[in-house]
């Protein structure tokens, strides 16, 4: 049984992380950390464990830590957990600052820790199988869209401060890069332009010579919503199949893989902190080249 602590008390922490951690037969949810002890107590009271407002106290009781906090906070807190020798279950992006992401990688490597980053699509069985088949087909180009409408009082993400401040590039861009990079190779050059609100269009050149296009935005009209990934090569286009995304199942698979690596003493994973750092590095470069509309 792996003893895990949860950092975070918000919507995603409650509905996804805490629920999945409490349900997993190989996990003991030891406690929940939050700056507001009352909120930490409330999440722990519903899902198990104890509420903490002292992170070091929680770290002293666990083997691993799951994070469900904004990326501006996650990087520094995850660094403290890694320095304490704790394995990591991280959200994307792992940080907003590349220096913090690099420091986190160093801390994990110095202590030979296991880590996974929850790029959701990479843990949906049908999508991961499709991506593996696509990689084997050696695509020469691709495109990825995540155009959504996160507005209105009924949208649980509409009130997210970090999403409003950093936009779709940092929120959903990592999901698309987590598929473009494995299929086409590391990104060596970027170009792009901004559209209305947080809409951005990017052209990526990959080390293999392949190119891809990525468009992300979370304030498009509802009738224009589109989310998908496609690649092309000698056999034509390969489109990510339609598949209902079950967050609970995806989280359970990611957690299974983390626990297996911990048990095996294995630190490498296809979506570990090193890959998470690579995604942060690409987004940082994208930010540097994006131009404002005239």
Look up residue 214 and give its two tokens: 């990525």
Let me know the angle formed at the C-alpha of 211 by 208 and 214, rounded to the nearest 5 degrees: 135
Backbone angles phi, psi at 281, to 5 degrees: -65, -40
Look up residue 194 and give its two tokens: 């901004």
pLDDT at site 155 = 65
Q: In this structure, are residues 139 and 238 in contact, taking their beta carbons and an 8 Å threshold?
A: yes
pTM for the model stands at 0.95
CATH 3.40.50.720 domain span(s) along the chain: 2-119+247-270
Q: In this structure, are residues 43 and 66 in contact, taking their beta carbons and an 8 Å threshold?
A: no
Q: Which fold has domain 2-119+247-270?
A: Rossmann fold (3.40.50)
What is the C-alpha to C-alpha distance for residues 93 and 173, in angstroms, rounded to an integer? 9
pLDDT per residue rounded down to tens, the chain (294 residues): 999 999 999 999 999 999 999 999 999 999 999 999 999 999 999 999 999 999 999 999 999 999 999 999 999 999 999 999 999 999 999 999 999 999 999 999 999 999 999 999 999 999 999 999 999 999 999 999 999 997 666 666 666 787 888 899 999 999 999 999 999 999 999 999 999 999 999 999 999 999 999 999 999 999 999 999 999 999 999 999 998 889 999 999 999 999 999 999 999 999 999 999 999 999 999 999 997 655
CATH 3.30.360.10 domain span(s) along the chain: 125-242
Q: Which of 164, 177, 203, 162 is nearest to 121 (CA)?
A: 177
Let me know the angle formed at the C-alpha of 202 by 200 and 204, rounded to the nearest 5 degrees: 160
Q: Which fold has domain 125-242?
A: Dihydrodipicolinate Reductase; domain 2 (3.30.360)
First and final CA of the chain: distance in angstroms? 57
């Amino acid at each position: 049984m792996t003893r895990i602590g949860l950092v975070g008390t918000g919507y995603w922490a409650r509905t996804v992380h805490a629920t999945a951690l409490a349900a997993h037969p190989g996990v003991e949810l030891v406690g929940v950390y939050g700056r507001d002890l009352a909120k930490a107590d409330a999440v722990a009271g519903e899902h198990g464990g104890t509420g903490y407002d002292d992170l070091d106290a929680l770290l002293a009781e666990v083997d691993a830590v799951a994070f469900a906090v904004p990326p501006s906070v996650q990087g520094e807190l995850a660094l403290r957990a890694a320095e304490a020798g704790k394995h990591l279950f991280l959200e994307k992006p792992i940080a907003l600052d590349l220096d913090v992401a690099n420091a986190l990688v160093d801390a994990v490597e110095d202590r030979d820790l296991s880590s996974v980053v929850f790029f959701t699509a990479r843990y949906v069985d049908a999508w991961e199988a499709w991506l593996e088949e696509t990689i084997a087909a050696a695509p020469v180009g691709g495109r990825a869209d995540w155009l959504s409408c996160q507005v209105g009082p009924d949208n649980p993400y509409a009130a997210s401060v970090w999403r409003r401040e950093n936009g779709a590039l940092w929120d959903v861009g990592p999901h698309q890069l987590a598929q473009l990079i494995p299929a086409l190779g590391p990104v060596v050059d970027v170009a792009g332009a901004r559209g209305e609100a947080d809409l951005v269009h990017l052209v990526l050149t990959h080390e293999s010579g392949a190119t891809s296009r990525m468009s992300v935005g979370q304030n498009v009209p509802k009738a224009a919503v589109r989310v998908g990934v496609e690649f092309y090569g000698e056999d034509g286009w390969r489109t990510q199949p339609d598949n209902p995304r079950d967050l609970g199942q995806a989280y359970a698979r990611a957690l299974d893989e983390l626990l297996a690596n911990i048990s095996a003493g294995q630190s490498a994973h296809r979506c570990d902190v090193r890959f998470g750092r690579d995604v942060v590095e690409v987004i940082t470069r994208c930010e540097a080249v994006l131009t404002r509309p005239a």
